[in-house]
Chains A and B, each alone.
Chain A
Amino acid sequence: MLLVSTFIIYKSIVCVAAFAVALGVAAYSTWIERKFSAVLQDRKGPNRAGPFGLLQPLADGVKMFMKEEIIPNVSNKFLFILGPSLAMLTACMTGAIIPWGKDFVAADGTAYALQVTDINIGFLYLFGVVSIGVYGIMIGGWASNNKYSLLGAIRASSQMISYEIAMGLSIIALIMTTGSLSFREILNQQDAGLCNFCYQPLGFLIFFICALAETNRAPFDLPECETELVGGYHTEYSSMKLGFYLFAEYINMFVSSAVLAGVYFGGYNFPFAKEFYETCGIAEGSALMSLIGFLVYFMKVIGFILLFMWIRWTLPRFRYDQLMDLGWKKLIPLSILNIVVTGIVMGWKDIVALFN
């Protein structure tokens, strides 16, 4: 058992590290996105700031800081500031439950988990915090007192709450097979054997589509549909408040990639991990093992982020009625079907026994 003071220091370090990783990845996602879209559209992308434009995110950040912040005179000042703060806060809070690697066991035998915390209601916490994120957009759009902002905010919130139902339902089938809501336990169960994707391909697909809609990414980026709504809910925003909204989107994308990669694709586990660790002589609980696990997980996450971007630069935007039809009339029945099929397959023996 750890001492209370050591516990607090260790958890603080993990918190700050998780936060810094999320911020760094989000910042460099903007760079990756611009380079990636440039490749897809046969352009060069950012190439002025530093080698390959690698300092571009820093330059963007400094620019955001130095710009004049404008609060329109008809807006609600307090809510106008609260909106982006809430969006950013919730985006950062969601990352708290993601286990980044195997436990690192110190010389005195204490295990240090590479995770802010492992709570047994991991998924409920995730959904709870994500739901609060809707408020960030809704409050911001409403406080602007601009017609475009309001329409964008209403669109965003009704889209996000619609897809939250399908998201919640698609995860239920997975929880039936794993029997736990804790992230760490779901990841550890994939230690040997197949990853959860092989058991729940339909659930993964639904969850992935919902993650796109929840993060307001294309093809579901109707809230910021330039052709009809100028800038959507952040039309009136400038300087770092706009930066917070954009940043929150990238952090959400990072966290949902991490959830997808962890829950459906094994996270820090990889095929033949045990054999690999044995041949290389890496001991269970060593720092090297944690590091390899972390890198494997991170590569999977980057893969998902690239997938998100590929989709954004390939597919056109949905129309609003198509978006709502897909969410309510297709994904919800499909995920209920997924639950029923999973239930019957898993409980077939019990059901047969009941009728004999």
Chain B
Amino acid sequence: MNASNTPFDYFPLILMFIVAAGFVVFTMVVTHWLGPKRKTKIKLDTFECGIESKGNARVPFSIKYFLVAILFVLFDVEVIFMYPWAVNFKELGALGIIEMFSFIALLLVGFYYIIAKKALTWED
């Protein structure tokens, strides 16, 4: 009954992928085939509230979004570090608690640093 780790347990995921991907591909093909195709130049223009669109949309955007992405990479890796510890929490006992709490303390120092540096301040 316990969750296990054999290829048999992962095989249904492949089946699920086949079912889902099959549905997606089938629907995409059918909708392409069913819908009307009367294309005009104006219809194929990108939407910009009715005015003529100027230039490329891939313009530079706020650096804040990039900072959030970088911070996500750092923090998500640290969150993943905690998962094995959390699963084995009861076996590891007091030593595990102290070790992980010191890790969390270090994490919070870094967290305080990014807040103090205003990396997460959006209103400026």
Contact = CB atoms under 8 A, between A and B. Distances in A.
Interface of A: 7-8, 11-12, 14-16, 18-19, 64-75, 81, 85, 88-89, 92-93, 95-96, 116-120, 122-125, 142, 144-151, 154, 157-158, 161-162, 164-165, 168-169, 172-173, 175-176, 179-182, 184-185, 188, 230, 235-236, 239-241, 244, 320-321, 324-325, 328-329, 332-333, 336, 339-340, 343-344, 346-347, 350-351, 353-354
A8 B120 CA distance: 49
Secondary structure at the B interface, as helix, strand, loop or mixed, is helix
Interface string B10-53: 11110111011101110110111011111101011111110001
A241 B48 CA distance: 20
A96 B14 CA distance: 10
B69 A89 contact: no
A350 B31 contact: no
Nearest to B30: A65
18 contacts: A11-B15, A65-B27, A65-B31, A66-B35, A68-B37, A69-B31, A69-B32, A73-B44, A85-B24, A85-B25, A88-B23, A118-B9, A144-B46, A168-B76, A239-B35, A240-B28, A244-B24, A332-B111
Contacts of B56: 74, 145
Contacts of A123: 83
- Do most interface residues of chain A lie in helix, strand or loop, or is the interface mixed? helix
Nearest to A86: B24
Contacts of B1: 184, 188
B72 A350 contact: no
A162 B68 contact: yes
A324 B120 contact: yes
A150 B57 contact: yes
Given A154-B65, A165-B75, A347-B93, A117 B47 contact: no
